[in-house]
């Protein structure tokens, strides 16, 4: 039988906008010592906008045409920055965690990380690499655009940390939970967000498939891990974690994989959930 206190705790969570899937999740929260946090949409707003374009209007136009097929926050920012009408795209394809490809007016176009461009036979010139590095300094995600055998330029998009993100990190530390930033984004972008929020441990440039593997790696070191995420890309990691926590502002896939959903998407509520579980269990044991 489930102790009444656990049901009471679950009910209190609900009134705080913290949806707890069954009393078991409260029990699990007890031993957590590490909180792994996805960046985009979890610690940052995920509401991106274009802040820089390099290589002329054709770069933005081609990028927007292809990104029209993607739901990623990066894609939405690029599409918003371009006036319609947009040319139609054939053979649209998403390469998870790397970018998108599609054919615009008969010309194959690639939009995404440098590696995707290089792998697609559209290498960056040394000059462009230097420009990309410069643009990436101080945060913001740089998306490279290429066609006909070469990278042609880039679009830089950026969002902001959520207003409460730094407070959330302080709250984790006060509860002796070690915060870790886990992201598919570039190392320098991850480091700048982590520094701004007070997070010391960063795992960057992780492909969606490797996010769960990184959680397992922490578990093998004896850590009890809560994972907080919002994206389709986070679902496997949420399932792998000892405790999966989804942002209610994110995707259904993340919520389905999670033990707890934070309705408002406020990362401080992750700390509230752990406190709730600790206080609930103190009344039982």
Interface contacts to Mg ion, rule CB under 5 A? 38, 40-41, 230-231
Q: Does 172 bind ligand ADP (CB under 6 A)?
A: no
**Where do we find the tokens 């960057």?**
204
The residues, ordered by sequence, that sit 6+ positions from 90 with a Cβ below 8 Å of its Cβ are 102, 103
How is 217-243 classified by DSSP, letter by letter?
A: HHHHTT--EEEEE-SGGGHHHHHHSSE
Binding residue (CB under 6 A) for ligand ADP from 231, 244, 248, 267:
231
For residue 10, the minimal CB distance to Mg ion (Å) is 26
For residue 209, the minimal CB distance to Mg ion (Å) is 15
Q: Does 214 bind ligand ADP (CB under 6 A)?
A: no
Q: Does 251 bind ligand ADP (CB under 6 A)?
A: no
Q: Does 113 bind ligand ADP (CB under 6 A)?
A: yes
In the complex, residue closest to ligand ADP by CB: 184
Burial grade of 160 (CB within 10 A; 0-12, 13-18, 19 or more): middle
Helix or strand holding residue 28 (H, E): helix 24-29
Binding piece for ligand ADP, criterion CB under 6 A, among 5-13, 51-59, 65-73, 165-173: 65-73
Taking the least distance from each CB to Mg ion, the nearer of 74 and 117 is 74
- The one catalytic residue in 38, 230, 234, 266 is 38
What is the distance, to the nearest Å, from the Cα of residue 99 to the centroid of all Cα atoms in its chain? 14
For the question of residue 52 being annotated catalytic, the response is no
Q: Backbone dihedral region of 156: left (phi > 0), alpha (psi from -120 to 50 degrees) or beta?
A: beta
Binding residue (CB under 6 A) for ligand ADP from 183, 251, 277, 280:
183
How is 144-196 classified by DSSP, letter by letter?
A: EEEETTEEEEEEEEE--B-TTHHHHHHHHHHTT-EEEEE-SS-HHHHHHHHHH
Interface residue list for ligand ADP (CB under 6 A): 38-40, 67, 70, 72, 74-75, 97-100, 111-113, 141, 143, 183-185, 208, 231, 233
């Amino acid at each position: 039988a489930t102790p009444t206190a656990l049901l009471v705790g679950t009910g209190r969570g609900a009134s705080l906008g913290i949806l707890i899937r069954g009393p078991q999740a409260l029990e699990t929260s007890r031993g957590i010592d590490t909180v792994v946090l996805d960046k985009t949409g979890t610690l940052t707003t995920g509401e991106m906008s274009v802040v820089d374009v390099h290589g002329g209007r054709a770069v933005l136009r081609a990028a927007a045409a292809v990104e029209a097929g993607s739901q990623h926050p990066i894609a939405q920012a690029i599409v918003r920055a371009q006036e319609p009408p947009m040319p139609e795209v054939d053979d649209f394809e998403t390469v998870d965690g790397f970018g998108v490809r599609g054919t615009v007016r008969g010309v194959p176009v690639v939009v995404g990380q440098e590696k995707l461009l290089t792998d697609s036979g559209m290498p960056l010139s040394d000059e462009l690499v230097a420009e990309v590095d410069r643009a990436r300094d101080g945060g913001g995600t740089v998306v490279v655009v290429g066609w006909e055998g070469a990278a042609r330029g880039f679009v830089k998009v950026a969002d902001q940390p959520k207003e409460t993100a730094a407070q959330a990190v302080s709250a984790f530390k006060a509860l002796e939970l070690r915060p870790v930033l886990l992201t598919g984004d570039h190392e320098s972008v991850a480091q700048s967000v982590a520094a701004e929020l007070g997070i010391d441990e960063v795992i960057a440039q992780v492909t969606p498939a490797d996010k769960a593997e990184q959680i397992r790696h922490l578990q093998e070191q004896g850590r009890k891990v809560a994972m907080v995420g919002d994206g389709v890309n986070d679902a496997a990691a949420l399932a792998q974690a000892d405790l999966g926590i989804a942002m209610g502002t994110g995707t259904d896939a993340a919520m389905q994989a999670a033990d707890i959903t934070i309705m408002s998407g406020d990362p401080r509520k992750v700390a509230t959930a752990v406190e709730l579980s600790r206080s609930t269990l103190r009344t039982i044991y």
